[in-house]
Chain A
């Protein structure tokens, strides 16, 4: 099986995609990630900026019009949703096989 070159996602990019199922700007993404991960993951500004840049380049997210002139707003693309689903299935497989072998 040929796996997509964007897989597997890093923890940061996975959470960014998850956070962008609804449109958000940079700082809101940081807050959402903290919330989604139950305060386990804190992404710093420099790291988030680089992750957003890479996701834009890979067309997994896109920027959308926003009224805030100082903050750009992004949202996940269809391709991004597809990748998110594939990574989710990949991890689900890992979880089920681990459950089977570890018990």
Chain B
């Protein structure tokens, strides 16, 4: 079964995954939505860290440390970011962090990753404006997306009919120009939210 959800707050995501496990849904993949396998219901403790790694051996060392201390690495790749762990040793503590600052640190890393992503997209944005792939006029004045002659001079029913008829085409025309700016805006939003969660969790 696949489910599509997006969390920035890891506490909420952990809670949700724990509830899914209670219903018998075991998380097996997160590369495209959340993929679950239906097995027997279990009381699982699932915790999430956020990390990316430069070298494969660093990633292996990281997973081994968790496994040695009673936490099985269930989902996550070297560069994917979120790393999911399930408690397998009854005697282990209930969290993968033992102090507040290090627990909040994952939000700091998440925030940094998305601000870097936004910065990486900026030159692309500028280049696309310079080469007129993105038409700035369209963003500033969406009326230009409508090509029906004299549309904006029409009145009443005639206007609404023409307007509604053309809107899907206008949206398609806008897509090319709006896609990259929307990406940048959402990256900045995620980064901002993560930064707020970092502050909340360190106070």
Contacts and interface: CB of A to CB of B under 8 A. Distances in A.
Question: Do chains A and B stick together as partners?
Answer: yes
A71 interface: yes
Contacts of A47: 96-99, 102-103
B98 A49 contact: no
B99 A49 contact: no
Nearest to B68: A27
Interface in A17-34: 25-27, 30
Contact of A27 (B58, B69, B97): B69
A80 B132 CA distance: 55
A42 B93 contact: yes
B65 A49 contact: yes
Contacts, number: 62
Contact of B66 (A25, A45, A69): A45
Interface string A34-50: 00000000111111111
A70 B64 contact: yes
Interface residues of B, number: 24
A93 interface: no
B23 to A, nearest CB: 27
Interface in B73-93: 93
Contact of B98 (A25, A43, A70, A72): A43
A60 B103 CA distance: 22
Interface residues of A, number: 19
Contact of A72 (B57, B93, B95, B96): B57
Nearest to A28: B68
Nearest to A68: B64
Contacts of B61: 26, 70-72
A81 B105 CA distance: 26
Contacts of A51: 102
Contacts of B64: 26-27, 70-71
B169 to A, nearest CB: 51
A44 B106 CA distance: 14
B124 interface: no
A72 B125 CA distance: 41
A48 B66 CA distance: 10
A12 interface: yes
Contacts of A48: 65
Contacts of A50: 102, 105
Given A70-B60, A71-B61, A46 B102 contact: yes
Interface of B: 47, 49, 51, 57-58, 60-62, 64-66, 68-69, 71, 93, 95-99, 102-103, 105-106
Interface of A: 12, 25-27, 30, 42-51, 69-72
Given A27-B64, A47-B96, 5 more contacts: A25-B65, A44-B69, A45-B68, A46-B49, A49-B65
